[in-house]
Amino acid sequence: MRSRAESLEFALLGLLTQGPLHGYELRKRMIAIYGPFRALSFSVLYPQLHRMLEAGLIEESVSDTGGISRRSRIVYAVTTDGKKRFDEITHTSSSEALDDENFEVRFAFFGPTPRGNRIAILENRLVKLVERASLIRSAMSANAGQLPDGIDKYLHEWRRHSLDSVEREIAWLEEMINIEGKSS
Amino acid sequence: MRSRAESLEFALLGLLTQGPLHGYELRKRMIAIYGPFRALSFSVLYPQLHRMLEAGLIEESVSDTGGISRRSRIVYAVTTDGKKRFDEITHTSSSEALDDENFEVRFAFFGPTPRGNRIAILENRLVKLVERASLIRSAMSANAGQLPDGIDKYLHEWRRHSLDSVEREIAWLEEMINIEGKSS
DNA sequence: TTCGTCATGTAATGGGTTACATGATTAC
DNA sequence: GTAATCATGTAACCCATTACATGACGAA
């Protein structure tokens, strides 16, 4: 799951394993999950669906049930290959930390992800963020007081906020790991 | 400052107004400011410097002072046109909110930005984040309790964290606005 | 009748990432 | 002697954004 195409494919497979949907509806679901910011545009979505069709991960079928004489919808459903691909990803564990975007995508489909991998994903991300926090801290102490007010006052404030933000996510991750540890 | 090329140009002009630097050193400064994540690659930096040369915003001069017989460095300095361009940007106010990336770039050069614009930039960003927070809140209450545990438990946790993160930045922005209001 | 939404696409442009290419120096 | 850093670039690939294109429906 390195490229964006791959993570989009994963998200689409995840949505379609819950039931067949057409392109327009898939976009709405994506926005409902990930927010209007980073909205998925049609010119990315439709070509992606076509690629997945060719790869045999999904099947299409035309339906006219959209209304009296609305434009016919093209409904997509996962094939067994598509389901297999999705399960491969959710069931494969890796020691590399996911970046912001990929973590968000994977976390949204934690439901169908086995608990062992859920914890691994959370912990890998945690390690990465702890690193990032210490980098910010050392940057802050490196030029603490040594540079004049003008430029670095704001740099310092920004780092303070960045560090706070990272520490908040660390706390949240620990909370999530804790919940996973206790439940089923 | 819509495209990344423009925001990179702004950051480079900002660094060079503090004194002439060569490409390799510019990259190190960028990393020092913005962190190793989102590191600026040479294949973006050097062509950008060439474009700015052609546009007459910077001048180059070769220096061999890098060591005994190191590869000669190409040192860049801002021209009066470059300085003018930088001042135009810092002194122009706009009512549109900057996105995450552009805000970070602009904030790092708040020093040479007049106070009125500093406040405007902070407040525009604040408005945008307040909007985002309310979007997340309505998404959370929209499907609160109505969907079964499986999928939406994690979605809810993620939104809780996203909201917290946005609220933290809002608080920080208010703090920054407050500081600006009091000082000079 | 005009705007927003439904619904599916193509084309052009801009630009970021990665790999490739070179070569000297310093530290271990 | 081997890796890392210094130092500057080019080329190919991938891909995201934007604009373009079409057409029907429902609401104000």
**pLDDT at res. B143:** 67
pLDDT band at A149 (very low <50, low <70, confident <90, very high): low
DSSP 3-state assignment of B96? coil
**Per-residue pLDDT at B184 exceeds 60:** no
Nearest CA to B171 among B121, B115, B130, B138?
B130
Euclidean distance between CA atoms B40 and B26, whole angstroms: 10
| Residues A115, A20 contacting (CB under 8 angstroms) | no
Q: What span, in angstroms and rounded, lies between the C-alpha atoms of A82 and A88?
A: 10
How far is residue B178 from each of residues A93, A173, B135, B173, measured CA to CA in Å? 47, 31, 26, 8
What architecture (CATH level 2) is domain A4-93? Orthogonal Bundle (1.10)
Tell me chain A's radius of gyration from C-alpha atoms.
21
Contacts of A50 (CB under 8 A, 6+ apart): none
* Residue of least CA–C1' distance to C18: B43
Helical (H) or strand (E) element with B166: helix B149-182
Using a CB–CB cut-off of 8 Å, the residues of A that contact B are 18, 32-33, 35-37, 104, 107-111, 132, 135-136, 139, 150-151, 153-155, 157-158, 161-162, 164-165, 168-169, 172, 176
What is the residue-averaged pLDDT of chain B?
89
pLDDT tier, A36 (very low <50, low <70, confident <90, very high otherwise): confident
Higher per-residue pLDDT: A56 or B64 = A56
Query: What percentage of chain A exceeds 90 in pLDDT?
Result: 66
Q: Are A2 and A106 in contact (CB under 8 A)?
A: no
How far is Cα A105 from Cα A4, in angstroms, rounded to an integer?
Answer: 10
Partner-chain contact B158 A32, CB within 8 Å:
no
Q: Do B108 and A158 touch (CB under 8 A)?
A: yes
CB-based contacts of B86: which residues, under 8 Å, 6+ apart? B10, B13, B14, B17, B78, B112
- CB pair distance less than 8 Å for B172 and A151: no
A38-67 average pLDDT score: 87
Q: What pLDDT shows up at residue A68?
A: 47
Distance from residue B184's CA to nucleotide C21's C1', rounded to whole Å: 53
B151 and A107: CB-CB below 8 Å?
Answer: no
pLDDT confidence of B2, banded at 50, 70, 90?
A: low
Residues of B in contact with A158 (CB under 8 A): 104, 107-108
Q: What pLDDT, in 10s, does the model give residues A81-127?
A: 999 999 999 999 888 888 888 999 999 999 999 999 999 999 999 99
Chains A, B: CB contacts within 8 A come to 63
Nearest to A121 by CA among A108, A137, A134: A108
Give residue for tokens 């606005």.
B177
**Is A85 near strand C, with its CB below 7 A from some atom of it?**
no
Task: Return the HEC string of B39-90.
Answer: CCCHHHHHHHHHHHHHCCCEEEEEECCCCCCCCCEEEEEECHHHHHHHHHHH
Parallel/antiparallel/unpaired status of strands B21-22 and B58-63: unpaired
| B69 CB inside 7 Å of strand C | yes
Residue B142: predicted pLDDT: 76
Whole-number Å distance between alpha carbons of A135 and A166: 11
pTM: 0.91
Number of H helices, E strands in chain B: 7, 3
Looking at chain A, the whole-number percentage of residues with pLDDT higher than 70 is 89
| Interface touch B176/A157, C-beta < 8 Å | yes
How far apart CA A104 and CA B155 sit, in angstroms, is 10
Asked if residue B1 keeps its beta carbon closer than 7 A to nucleic acid strand D, the reply is no
Q: Identify the residue among A16, A137, A151, A170 best suited for mutation to test binding to B, counting B beta carbons within 10 A and taking the highest.
A: A151
Which residue in the set A107, A151, A157 is minimally distant from B158, CB to CB? A107
How large is the average pLDDT for residues A52-56?
A: 93
Confidence of residue B165 (pLDDT cuts 50, 70, 90): very high
Report how far residue B69's alpha carbon sits from residue A143's, in angstroms, rounded to the nearest whole number. 31
Rounded Cα distance, B57 and B76, in Å:
10
What tokens were used for B8? 């990179």
Range with lowest mean pLDDT among A58-62, B1-5, B58-62, B154-158: B1-5
- Model pLDDT for residues B30-39, shown as the tens digit of each residue: 998 988 877 8
